């Protein structure tokens, strides 16, 4: 059953993206749609680059101080004007957001922008943390 839905989604996704693109292009024009798609690709790839470097710095500080990544080594997410720090899990969630924004298509861009919202990232990071705590540490005896 899951395979069937996966195949249906795989076929339906490009069709939905094309329909959305045609509808938006009828409103704003094809050239403006092209400009928007190129701008989203640049924005998405920039987000991926930023998130990977910020997460690397955060984990580096955590390792240097021998503490958990959530306890120290926090970096700001949206630049120097933002004062609240973000743990590495939230910063790392910018990577899939950036990739979704960079994929040409308005549906994936919308999903990426939703994932880019700090409130959404915080909730997803909290869920991932709860799931990781439930699993416990890996067994290193093997």
Whole-Å CA distances, 139 to 1, 8, 38, 142: 34, 39, 46, 7
- Give the pLDDT of residue 71: 52
Do the beta carbons of residue 21 and residue 33 sit within 8 Å? Answer: yes
Contact at 8 Å (CB) between 9 and 71? no
What is residue 70's predicted lDDT score, i.e. its pLDDT? 54
Predicted local distance difference test score (pLDDT) of residue 142: 56
Q: What is the pLDDT of residue 72?
A: 47
The per-residue pLDDT string of the chain (142 residues; one tens digit each, 9 = 90 and over) reads 778 888 888 889 999 999 999 999 999 999 999 999 999 999 999 988 888 887 777 777 667 776 555 554 444 444 554 444 456 667 778 888 889 999 988 999 999 999 989 899 889 888 888 887 888 776 666 5
Q: Domain-by-domain residue ranges, the chain? A: 15-134
Distance from C-alpha of 133 to C-alpha of 27, rounded to nearest angstrom: 48
Residue 66 has a pLDDT of 64
pLDDT of 5 reads: 84
Per-residue pLDDT at 109: 93
């Amino acid at each position: 059953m899951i395979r069937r839905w996966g195949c249906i989604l795989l076929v339906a996704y490009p069709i939905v993206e094309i329909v959305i693109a045609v509808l938006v292009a009828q409103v704003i024009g094809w050239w403006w749609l092209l400009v928007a798609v190129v701008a989203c690709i640049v924005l998405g790839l920039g987000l991926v680059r930023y998130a990977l470097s910020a997460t690397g710095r955060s984990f580096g500080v955590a390792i240097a101080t021998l503490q958990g990544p959530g306890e120290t080594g926090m970096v700001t997410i949206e630049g120097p004007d933002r004062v609240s720090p973000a743990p590495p899990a939230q910063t790392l969630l910018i990577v899939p957001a950036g990739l979704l924004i960079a994929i040409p298509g308005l549906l994936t861009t919308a999903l990426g922008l939703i994932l880019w919202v700090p409130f959404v990232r915080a909730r997803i990071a909290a869920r991932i943390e709860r799931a990781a705590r439930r699993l416990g540490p890996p067994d290193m005896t093997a």
